[in-house]
Amino acid sequence: MANQRIKVQCPTCKKFRFITRFMVYLIKIGKNTGNCKSCSLKGNKYRLRTKHSKETRKKMSLASLGKKKSLQHRMSISKAKMGVKTGVVPRSAFKKGRKMTREQIRKCLRKREMSGLEKRVLHIIEKYNFPYKFVGNGDFFIERKNPDFININGEKKAIEVYWDRHKEQFAKGGLNGWKNERTRVFGKYGWQVLFIEGTGLTEEKVINILEGGD
């Protein structure tokens, strides 16, 4: 009997619905208006799917700053976001051997800013009017490889700038494996790769490489 549902009419929209005996009791003592869910949300600025203002979002962000979420909380957030299209490819997709498409790589690259090393090399290129332009934001691909700079004077030359310690730590096969793979893929299409390492980089060193020296 406690779970028995009673048919009542919404006083606002006049539609009928079934509610529990306890809800009927709350209506009688004035603790509930008796409106259906749709009518109750009308005019409520805190209703679901309402976008918060920029100022409110900032306050919410600051309020949660530094607070650690429990495992259960993180799992509930993850479950809620399953199937939501964010434009970001989940890392788990590549643990099973899947590779990012060219378009997925391009989207990731367009979101990142130029590195300090890329800016230094670009400054030298522009200062001495070398025929190269920056394409490391996903503007140019050879297969699935995106070089940092390419020649714009008709020569098939690409520039890759890097730090030794970074490639040794993260690149497949280390620094030599990364350079060999780049050279192999670019070479299939007649391209030459110029490698510029950032340690102790000087203008003279960059000029020497771009002019064809060692």
Query: Tens digit of pLDDT per residue, the chain (214 long)?
Result: 556 788 888 888 888 888 888 888 888 888 888 888 777 777 665 555 567 788 888 888 777 776 777 888 877 777 776 655 555 555 555 555 567 776 777 677 666 788 899 999 999 999 999 999 999 988 899 988 999 999 999 999 999 999 988 887 777 788 899 999 999 999 999 999 999 999 999 999 999 999 985 5
Secondary structure (DSSP) of 2-51: TT-EEEEE-TTT--EEEEEHHHHHHHHTTS-----HHHHHTT-TT-TTPP
pLDDT at residue 213, rounded to an integer = 57
Q: Residue 5's beta-bridge partner residues?
A: 20
pLDDT at residue 181, rounded to an integer = 93
- Verdict on whether the full-model pTM lies above 0.75: no
Closest CA to 26 of 6, 54, 43, 49: 6
| HSE-CB of 20 using CA atoms within 13 angstroms | 7
pLDDT at residue 98, rounded to an integer = 66
Tokens coding 36: 């259906």
CATH class of 110-210: alpha beta
Domain ranges of the chain: 5-41, 110-210
pLDDT at residue 183, rounded to an integer = 95
